[in-house]
Amino acid sequence: MYSYFIRRFLLMIPTFIGITLLCFLVTRYVPGGPVEQAILRYQQAMANTGEGGGGTSDSAMEDGQISEEMMQRLKEIYGFDKHPFIAYLHWLWRVLHFDLGTSDTYSRPVWDLIKEKFPVSIIFGFTGFLLSYMICIPLGVWKAVKHGSAFDTSSSVLVFIAYSIPGWTAGVLLLMLFGGNAYLDIVPSGGKESGYINEKSTLSMFLQQGGLVSDLPAEIRSQYPKLRDNQQISASHEAFKHIPVDKRFQLKNGSHADLSFLGRLLDTIWHMILPVFCYVLGMFASKTVLMKNSLMENLGQDYVRTAFAKGLSENTVIFKHALRNSLIPIATGLGHMLSIILAGSYLIEKVFNINGFGLLGYESLIARDYPVTLGILVIGSMLKLFGNIMSDVLYCIIDPRIRFS
């Protein structure tokens, strides 16, 4: 078994090189590549400052065009003065030393951007992953046991509806109904934490975050001499209605960090409700159907009939014998799910404005920020490859009969 995993790890090397080499070459030859984007940004900067073109003093620009000297400098910066394979080897060497280059959009090292945004996607993605499996496995088992019943039929309708709706599409609809400034205004419209809590938000009512007495108008303030300066009062206090609306339910410094630990926890959970629901919606439907079909297939096997013939109870047969074998197909897709969980969903993070790994990837693609795009490709490829190996490990854990050679 050890030799098998050693071979799998060794096969990761040519696979990783093949993926990154293909994408690296695409960035070299695709229209609007790194050099063209740099030229466009430079020309826009010159136009905004009123320089460049029309015989200006800027030696890098001649009649609105990049000079040969400037073009050569750009090619040297992006490695276009070398053969593509030589440039790839230089880039790969920097990657091995955790140097993914500098973002053209953020003007920051790509590795620092990834380290900053990666934990956000882990929190949202891993929570959605756990909830989806906590739902799909029990639901799939119960549907298999009650196959053909009213519960199975009604739940199948819900499952197929969920399967037909992309998570990001559901996110847009839910924001229209329940998001901030929407019809019901129950949950935040996006982000991962609050910088300002609106007076009408459900979270602010739940936290009972009051207004500051110091924000009372002077003529009203004099009517309440017993109230201390900067004292917070609840919404039920009669003086509360005299506090300006934009001062009500406002955090002391307008920051999530000013809440108590319980307040910060509740604020984070409040922001996670809709995004995590969309993560779960995209994963649990297919896994529920897979779990049900796999268990039903195992319940029809000879070893299950033999177990019943020996007098074992239904729960023992299902949960001790059939269920474990039925989990193997569920573990198969773990490698694919891992890359989505940790890398984040591009569209879901975009819809909910979650400043994570997925949103970084989306914005880098739109802005054609090639250093960030290649950096995200490196991380995503490694997650995918390690996820596939993890699936093989789970095979061995779930079914000890499986032997890799």
The 8-class DSSP code of residue 351 comes to H
- Residue 376 sits at the vertex; the CA angle it makes with 84 and 331, to the nearest 5 degrees, is 120
**Is the same domain home to 288 and 388?**
yes
Strand partners, 61: 66
In the predicted model, is pLDDT for residue 314 greater than 70?
Answer: yes
The DSSP symbol for 238 reads: G
With contact defined as beta carbons under 8 Å apart, do 168 and 362 qualify? no
Burial of 192 per CB tally in 10 Å (0-12, 13-18, 19+): buried
Can you state the angle between helices 357-367 and 110-145, rounded to 10 degrees?
120
Residue 404 lies in a domain: no
Residue 199's pLDDT is 43
Mean pLDDT of the chain: 77
Residue 118 lies in a domain: yes
| 3-class SS of residue 228 | coil
Is the residue at 197 inside a domain? no
pLDDT attached to residue 142 = 92
- 321 and 362 inside one domain: yes
Query: Based on the domain organization, do 284 and 390 belong to the same domain?
Result: yes
pLDDT tens track for 80-117: 888 888 888 988 998 888 888 888 888 889 999 988 88
Contact 192, 120 (CB under 8 A): yes
302 and 374 together in one domain = yes
Residue-wise pLDDT for 20-59, tens only, equals 888 888 888 877 777 777 777 777 777 766 554 444 444 5
Are 208 and 355 in the same domain? no
Q: What gap in Å lies between CA 33 and CA 370, rounded to an integer?
A: 8
Residues 161 and 295 in one domain: yes
Q: Among 334, 340, 293, 400, which residue's Cα sits nearest to residue 133?
A: 334
Domain CATH number, residue 153: 1.10.3720.10
pTM of the model: 0.70
Same domain as 290, residue 170: yes
- Please tell me whether residues 160 and 212 are part of one structural domain: no
Query: Residue 41 is part of which domain span?
Result: 17-97
Q: Taking residues 179-194, report their average pLDDT.
A: 67
- 323 shares its domain with 364: yes
**Does residue 267 fall inside a structural domain?**
no
Q: Which residue, 97, 125, 148, sits at the end of a domain?
A: 97
- Residue 284, pLDDT score: 80
Question: Both 301 and 359 in a single domain?
Answer: yes
Same-domain status, 250 and 328: no
Please check the confidence at residue 255 and state whether its pLDDT lies above 60: no
- Strand, helix or coil for residue 401: coil
Domain check: are 229 and 323 in the same one?
no
Q: Tally the domains of the chain.
A: 3
pLDDT grade for 263, boundaries at 50, 70 and 90: low
The reply to whether 140 falls in a domain is yes
